[in-house]
Amino acid sequence: MEQNFSIAPKDQRNLMLKIGFILLLTLLLMIPMAWIQSLIDERAVLQDQVAADVAASWGKEQMVQGPVLCIPYTETIQTQGKPYGSDHLLFVTPDELKVTTKVISEIRTKGIFNTVVYTSNNRLTGAFSLENIPKKPEITYHWSDAILITGITDPAAISDKITTQWNNTEVKTMPGVQHQGFTTSGFHSAAPITTQTGNFSFSQEFSARGTAGLRFLPTGKTTDIDMSSNWPSPSFTGRILPQERNISTNGFEAHWDANEYNRKFPDHWSDTDSGIQAGGNEHSFGVNFIQTADHYQKNMRSAKYAILVITLSFLVFFFYEILLKIRIHPIQYMMIGFSLAIFYALLLSFTEHIGFNTAYLISAGAVTVLITMYAYAIIQKAKMIAWLTTLFVMLYGYIFILLQLEDYSLLAGTIGLFAILAAVMMLSRKMDWYKIGQG
């Protein structure tokens, strides 16, 4: 037989004041929660600054561009009936480009912050054809002055001698790009052309340090890239994803295929052509060497659930007041609320030293023990304290599961909220709130 719930006689007005106080306290606790979220942002920014400091001394995130062949030429034009020579540059992309890179990554620590750095050993091979370049009587090409330009974001991080071969002959490689119609930073090599027919082969080998990510800009009509690394958690990025990949705890291997339709520039262009810029991130692709646990992001997501944890905790204690006919003082509600808020400060501080999952277990366990011990002094009923402990374990466990989910976190969260609301409505459905407070 179902029974209506009631509590010991008390003034109905006092009950409304208690509800109002709990709501006000919940809102006031959002102030320290806002401070904690600001602290999380501050620590995340500090980690980014440390990463930038490491990149400045080790090497920035690298993007390899090219190579392309740059051929100076003179165009003869008529000015007031007299011939006048105008000097220009012709940029030619390779017919085929093959890149093989082996990346050795490691974690550098500065203070309590970690940054992923790497050294890439790169080999670029391919061939050029000059069959389709403009051939006009007024254009004179300076074949012997042609150069091979290869772009890289941070050439200061090149860690070894660059070896370049042009048509199976080793040529000298010099720093800088000399002509900035293709890229603004990198290196160049002599690429003298003695005949205008056939294919011209090239190969380049160099090692470069970098931080966080490595990308490539495909310049060939066909571009094949093979990458291997000891990093076990790659994040592939860019306009083209690898057609083949193999990821294990020992690292990964990936293969990309690109063609001339995957780039925004033609086979060749002149410095007189407006609107053509070969460089740029939007058509590059590669990999980011990420750390699987983004501690600060998880801390921020956890802090956003604070209103749910605090509201449900206060709701449980409020129902204990009614069902057990006990009185919980507003000061005691404040102590419980502060305990719930300190959880997020504990979580953040522990996370920076022992990782998020372990920090969550320790912080949730500490706060659960603290609140249940405090509640026992108020309620003094072991069975109800056992239920209270179980509820906190389920609540923190539920939040932890939500934090692990990505694609389904919203779905799981809304279903959980619906279930909690349904439970509260079922528990309170027989309460006659008008009679509460009446004798």
Q: Is the backbone peptide bond immediately before 266 cis, with ω within 30 degrees of 0?
A: no
The answer on pLDDT for 214 being more than 90 is: yes
The answer on pLDDT for 128 being more than 50 is: yes
Better pLDDT: 14 or 176:
176
Short-list 362, 363, 388, 361, CA closest to 373: 388
Query: Which residue matches tokens 């209103």?
Result: 307
Instruction: Identify the DSSP state of 241.
Output: -
Helices and strands of the chain, counted as H and E runs: 8, 18
Q: Which amino acid is at 387?
A: W
Tell me what percent of the residues of the chain surpass a pLDDT of 70.
88
pLDDT in tens, 362-388: 999 999 999 988 888 888 888 888 888
The answer on pLDDT for 439 being more than 60 is: no
The answer on pLDDT for 293 being more than 70 is: no
Short-list 404, 340, 337, CA closest to 368: 340
Structural tokens at position 428: 């309170």
Short-list 169, 98, 162, 163, CA closest to 127: 98
Q: How far is CA 31 from CA 28, 116, 310, in A?
A: 6, 35, 13
The answer on pLDDT for 2 being more than 50 is: no
The answer on pLDDT for 24 being more than 60 is: yes
Average pLDDT over every residue of 251-255: 94
Among 98-102, 339-343, 350-354, 432-436, name the most confident range: 98-102
Average pLDDT over every residue of 27-32: 88
The Cα–Cα gap between 160 and 141 comes to 34
What does the pLDDT read at residue 362? 93
pLDDT in tens, 103-122: 999 888 777 777 889 999 99
Q: How far apart are the first and last CA of the chain?
A: 23
Query: Which residue matches tokens 């509600």?
Result: 333
What does the pLDDT read at residue 5? 46
Average pLDDT over every residue of 180-201: 82
Count CB-CB contacts under 10 A for residue 405.
Answer: 12
The answer on pLDDT for 7 being more than 50 is: no
Task: Kindly give the pairing relationship between strand 62-79 and strand 82-92.
Answer: antiparallel
Average pLDDT over every residue of 73-92: 82
Q: Which amino acid is at 182?
A: F
For the beta sheet containing 169-171, the strands, ordered from the edge strand earlier in sequence to the opposite edge, are 169-171, 163-166, 199-211, 113-129, 96-110, 222-229, 251-259, 244-248
The Cα–Cα gap between 205 and 65 comes to 14
